[in-house]
C-alpha cells in the first residue's frame, strides 16, 4: 500500500520535506481505497504538495494522517459527481514495488561528490536516470548506472550513461527487484547479466571485482564499488530501520476483501474544490518536483548564468542530464580536488544567483545554504572572525532564511467554495502557528514568549515577502487558534491589546517568574534611598521588558496581569508606574 503515516507539525499540518511546497488545501475530504471507504479517514483535509498528497484527519489528526507520494501515482482522473455522489479524484498507483518506496532518503548519503562526466545522448525518456540510488551495471562497460526513480515495467529502458547501449531488461529487473533472481528462469538473461546476477548475492559479492564482502558493507572493501543494494538494504530496512525522515512502516488501512487488488485511491470532495485540486495535481504531476529533490546537490552552472533564467521544466532537464560520477580520487589529493570543485561551484552559484532577481529566487535555497555555511566557517575560524563580516553574514542568512516557502498559505491554495474563507483562515492560523513554533526562528522566545498581534503581523509579512496578508486576515486567523487547538493562543489583555503567546505560558507562570526576578534583584539596585528596605525593590515596566524580552506594551500588560493576581502593587509617580511586591495580599 502506498499510503504512509506522516509527521505533523505542532500546528497539525503535514511536515513538509525540504524543497516541498504546499500547493493546495481542501477540507471535507474523504478517502477511498479502490471502491471502499476507508474507516477513520472520512473527514479530513487534503493537502496537495509538490511531492505528495496528504490527508489529515480533522478529529484525530495525530492518529489518522497519511500521505501518498506523487511519484507512486501512475495516472489520475476526475469524476465530477452525480446526484448524491460527491466529486472524486482517482489516483491510480503504479504497480506496487515496495523496494522502491524507501529509497528516497538514501540518495543523499549515497552520493557524496558528483562531478559531471560525459553527458549521455539525450534520450526520449522523460525521466533521465540520475536520481535514484539503485543501480544497474551495464553489461558492456560495467558502468554502474543509476536507475530512474519512477521506473516501471512499462517504461522505456534507459541507455547506459557511459557507452549508450541499452541493456537487456533482465539486467534492470535485477536491479529493481532484488528478490527476483532466484525466481526467474535463468535462460531469460543474457550472458553478461548472467555474470552479474549469477554472483552469489546472499554473500554480498562485489559486482565489479567479485570480492565477497561482509553483509553490512555498502562499498566493496577492495575496489570501493557500490555494492548492489538489494540484499543489504532489505536487511537494513527491515532490521535496523535506518531511514530517518518518516515512519517507514506503510500504514495498512482497513481490511480489503481478499483477491481484490487495490491499485487506486480516491479522494472524495464532499465540499467541492475538486477542480482546482485537479488542476494543481496536474501541474505538479507534470513538473515532477520530487525529481529535483534528488538532483545533484552541487549547483551546475556551466558558463555564465545563461541557463539560470530557464523556467522550471527546462531547469529540471538541465539538472537531470547530469550524470552521476563514480570517479573516485582518494587521499589528500582527492580532498583537495573536492574542495576546489566545491569552491568553484560556490563561486558560480553566487555569481549566477545575483545576476538578476528571478535567478536569485530560483537559487534562494542554495544561497541560503551557502551563507549559512560561510557563517559557520567564519565562526569556526577565529583568525578570520572579522566581527563585521560575521554580523553581515549572520544577518543575511537570517533574512534569507525568513522566506518561508513552507509557511505561506495563500488564498489561491484554497478552493473558492463556500467555506473557503474560514478554511483559508484556519490554514493561515496553522501556518502562523508553525511559523511561531519554528525552532530556527524562535520568534516567541526572542519576544519573551508573547508577541503583540501588530508585531506578529509585521514579522510574518516580512517573512512571507510576497503575498502579504491583511491585518484582518491575521486577526481572524488568530481567533481560530483556540478552536484548532494550536500550540499558541491569542490573549486579550484588559486594555484590549492582543498578543499571541504559547499555550503553555499561563499567568501564574509569568507571575512566578516576575516575582522570582524581583526577589533576585540585588538590594543596592536602583531604588529610592529614602524608602525603607523592607519593602523590597521596585521595577518599571521598562526593566521587566528588558529582562524578559517583552515589548513595553506587553510588559505593561503582563505586569498589570500580575497585579491582578495580587502579586504586585503599583505606585503611580512622575516617572510612570512603578511596581512593588504586594505586601497587602501576601501578608494577609
Partner 1 sequence: MSDVKGETTLPPYYPEFYGFPPFYTRQPNTLSWSSQLSQWRSFILGYCRAHKLWRLNLVDAMDTELFFNKSINRKLPLPTIREVVDDLVKTSNAEWLSSEKSIAYIFWRTPEDFASQIYGWIDSTGQKNTVLTLLELTEGDHSTDQEFYGMDQAMLNKCLNVLVKRGQAQVFSVGDDKGIKVW
Instruction: Write out the residues near partner 1 by the rule CB under 8 A.
Output: 528, 530-532, 535, 538, 563-564, 566, 569-573, 578, 580, 582-585, 588
CA atoms within 13 Å, Cβ hemisphere of 453: 22
Q: Which is nearer to partner 1, 427 or 557 (CB)?
A: 557
The radius of gyration of the chain from alpha carbons, rounded to an integer in Å, stands at 29
Which residue's C-alpha cell is 499558541? 488
Q: Which helix (H) or strand (E) holds 451?
A: strand 450-452
Nearest approach in angstroms of CB 548 to partner 1 is 21
Cell matching residue 130: 540520475
Return the number of the residue (94 or 581) whose C-beta is nearest partner 1.
581
Helical ranges in 332-419 per DSSP H: 332-353, 357-362, 364-380, 387-401
With respect to partner 1, which residue has the nearer C-beta, 286 or 531?
Answer: 531
Output the smallest distance, CB 461 to partner 1, in A: 36
Q: Identify whether the C-beta of residue 128 lies closer than 8 Å to the C-beta of residue 320.
A: yes
271/521 with CB nearer partner 1: 521
Which CB, 388 or 532, lies closer to partner 1? 532
Q: Which is nearer to partner 1, 354 or 535 (CB)?
A: 535
Cα 102 to Cα 158, 204, 206, 235, 534, distances in angstroms = 22, 20, 23, 13, 68
Query: What is the C-alpha separation between 220 and 232, in angstroms, rounded?
Result: 12
End-to-end CA distance of the chain: 67
Measure the CA dihedral 268/270/272/278, to 10°: -10
The three-class DSSP label of residue 237 is: helix
Nearer to partner 1, 447 or 543 (CB): 543
Closest CA to 169 of 159, 131, 266: 159
Distance of closest approach, residue 570 Cβ to partner 1, in angstroms: 6
CB distance 477 to 426 below 8 Å: yes
**Least separation, in Å, of the C-beta of 574 and partner 1?**
10
Pick 252 or 535: Cβ nearer partner 1: 535
Three cell numbers written together for 252: 495498512
Query: Which CB sits closer to partner 1, 74 or 563?
Result: 563
Between 17 and 561, CB nearer to partner 1: 561
Q: Cβ of residue 575: shortest distance to partner 1, in angstroms?
A: 12
Measure the CA–CA gap between 163 and 140, rounded to whole angstroms.
8
Cα separation, 148 vs 442, whole angstroms:
40
Q: How many CB atoms lie within 10 A of CB 332?
A: 8
Q: Which is nearer to partner 1, 460 or 580 (CB)?
A: 580
Query: Residues in the chain, how many?
Result: 588
CB of 498 to partner 1, least distance (A): 21
Choose between 130 and 540: whose C-beta lies nearer to partner 1.
540
Comparing CB distances to partner 1, the nearer of 244 and 529 is 529
Shortest reach from residue 577's CB to partner 1, in Å: 8
Angle between helices 387-401 and 364-380 (to 10 degrees): 150
CB neighbours of residue 146 within 10 Å: 24
Q: Measured from the CB atom, is 39 or 583 closer to partner 1?
A: 583
**Residue 273 backbone class (left: φ over 0; alpha: ψ -120 to 50; beta: rest):** left
Place of cell 570501493: 224
Q: Please list, in sequence order, all residues whose beta carbon lies within 8 angstroms of the beta carbon of residue 138, skipping any fewer than 6 positions away.
A: 144, 145, 160, 162, 163, 165, 167, 171
Residue 465 Cβ, how far from partner 1 at the closest point, in Å? 43
Closest approach, Cβ 509 to partner 1, in A, equals: 19
Q: How far is the CB of 499 from partner 1 (least distance, A)?
A: 20
What b/e string do you get for 512-535 counting C-beta neighbours within 10 Å, with b at 16 or more?
Answer: ebbbeebeebeeeeebeeeeeeee
E strand or H helix at 268: strand 264-269
Assess contact for 144 and 225: CB atoms under 8 A.
yes
Q: Could you give the CA distance from residue 263 to residue 73 in angstroms, rounded to a whole number?
A: 10
Amino acid at each position: 500500500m502506498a499510503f504512509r503515516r506522516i509527521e505533523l507539525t505542532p500546528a497539525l499540518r503535514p511536515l513538509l520535506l525540504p524543497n516541498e511546497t504546499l500547493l493546495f488545501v481542501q477540507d471535507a475530504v474523504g478517502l477511498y481505497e479502490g471502491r471502499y471507504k476507508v474507516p477513520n479517514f472520512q473527514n479530513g483535509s487534503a493537502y496537495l504538495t509538490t511531492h505528495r498528497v496528504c490527508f489529515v484527519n480533522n478529529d484525530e489528526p495525530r492518529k489518522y494522517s497519511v500521505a501518498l507520494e506523487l511519484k507512486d501515482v501512475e495516472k489520475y482522473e476526475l469524476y465530477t459527481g452525480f446526484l448524491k455522489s460527491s466529486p472524486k479524484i482517482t489516483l491510480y498507483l503504479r504497480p506496487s514495488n515496495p523496494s522502491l518506496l524507501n529509497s528516497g532518503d538514501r540518495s543523499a548519503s549515497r552520493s557524496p561528490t558528483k562531478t559531471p562526466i560525459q553527458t549521455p545522448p539525450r534520450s526520449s525518456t522523460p525521466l533521465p536516470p540520475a536520481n535514484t540510488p539503485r543501480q544497474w551495471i551495464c553489461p558492456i562497460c560495467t558502468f554502474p548506472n543509476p536507475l530512474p526513480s519512477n521506473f516501471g515495467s512499462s517504461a522505456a529502458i534507459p541507455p547506459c550513461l557511459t557507452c549508450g547501449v541499452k541493456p537487456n531488461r533482465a539486467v534492470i529487473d535485477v536491479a529493481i527487484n532484488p528478490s527476483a533472481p532466484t525466481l526467474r528462469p535463468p535462460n531469460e538473461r543474457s550472458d553478461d547479466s548472467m555474470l552479474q546476477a549469477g554472483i552469489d548475492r546472499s554473500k554480498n559479492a562485489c559486482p565489479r571485482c567479485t570480492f565477497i564482502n561482509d553483509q553490512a558493507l555498502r562499498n566493496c572493501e577492495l575496489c570501493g564499488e557500490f555494492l548492489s543494494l538489494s540484499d543489504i538494504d532489505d536487511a537494513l530496512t527491515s532490521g535496523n530501520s535506518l531511514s530517518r525522515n518518516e515512519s517507514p512502516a506503510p500504514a495498512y488501512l482497513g481490511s480489503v476483501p481478499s483477491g481484490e487488488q487495490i491499485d487506486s485511491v480516491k479522494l472524495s470532495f464532499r465540499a467541492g474544490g475538486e477542480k482546482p485540486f485537479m488542476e494543481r495535481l496536474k501541474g505538479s504531476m507534470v513538473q515532477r518536483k520530487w525529481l529535483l529533490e534528488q538532483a545533484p546537490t552541487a549547483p551546475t552552472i556551466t558558463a555564465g548564468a545563461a541557463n539560470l533564467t530557464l523556467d522550471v521544466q527546462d531547469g529540471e532537464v538541465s539538472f537531470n542530464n547530469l550524470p552521476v560520477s563514480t570517479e573516485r580520487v582518494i587521499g589528500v589529493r582527492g580532498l583537495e580536488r573536492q574542495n576546489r570543485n566545491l569552491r568553484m561551484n560556490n563561486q558560480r552559484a553566487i555569481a549566477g544567483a545575483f545576476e538578476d532577481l528571478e535567478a536569485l529566487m530560483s537559487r534562494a535555497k542554495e544561497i541560503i545554504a551557502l551563507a549559512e555555511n560561510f557563517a559557520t566557517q567564519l565562526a569556526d575560524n577565529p583568525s578570520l572572525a572579522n566581527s563585521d563580516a560575521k554580523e553581515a553574514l549572520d544577518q543575511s542568512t537570517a533574512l534569507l532564511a525568513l522566506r518561508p516557502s513552507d509557511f505561506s498559505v495563500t488564498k489561491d491554495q484554497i478552493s473558492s467554495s463556500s467555506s473557503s474563507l474560514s478554511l483559508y483562515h484556519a490554514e493561515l492560523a496553522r501556518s502562523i502557528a508553525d511559523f511561531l513554533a519554528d525552532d530556527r526562528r524562535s520568534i516567541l522566545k526572542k519576544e519573551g514568549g508573547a508577541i503583540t498581534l501588530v508585531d506578529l503581523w509585521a514579522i510574518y509579512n516580512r517573512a512571507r515577502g510576497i503575498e502579504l496578508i491583511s491585518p484582518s486576515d491575521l486577526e481572524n486567523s488568530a481567533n481560530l487558534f483556540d478552536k484548532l487547538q494550536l500550540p499558541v493562543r491569542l490573549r486579550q489583555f484588559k486594555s484590549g491589546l492582543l498578543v499571541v503567546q504559547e499555550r503553555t505560558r499561563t499567568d501564574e507562570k509569568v507571575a512566578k517568574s516576575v516575582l522570582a526576578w524581583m526577589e533576585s534583584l540585588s538590594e543596592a539596585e536602583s531604588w529610592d534611598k529614602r524608602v525603607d528596605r523592607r519593602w523590597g525593590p521596585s521595577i518599571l515596566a521598562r526593566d521587566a521588558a528588558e529582562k524578559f524580552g517583552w515589548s513595553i506594551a506587553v510588559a505593561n500588560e503582563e505586569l498589570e496581569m500580575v497585579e491582578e493576581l495580587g502579586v504586585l502593587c503599583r505606585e503611580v509617580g512622575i516617572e510612570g508606574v512603578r511596581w512593588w511586591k504586594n505586601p497587602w495580599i501576601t501578608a494577609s
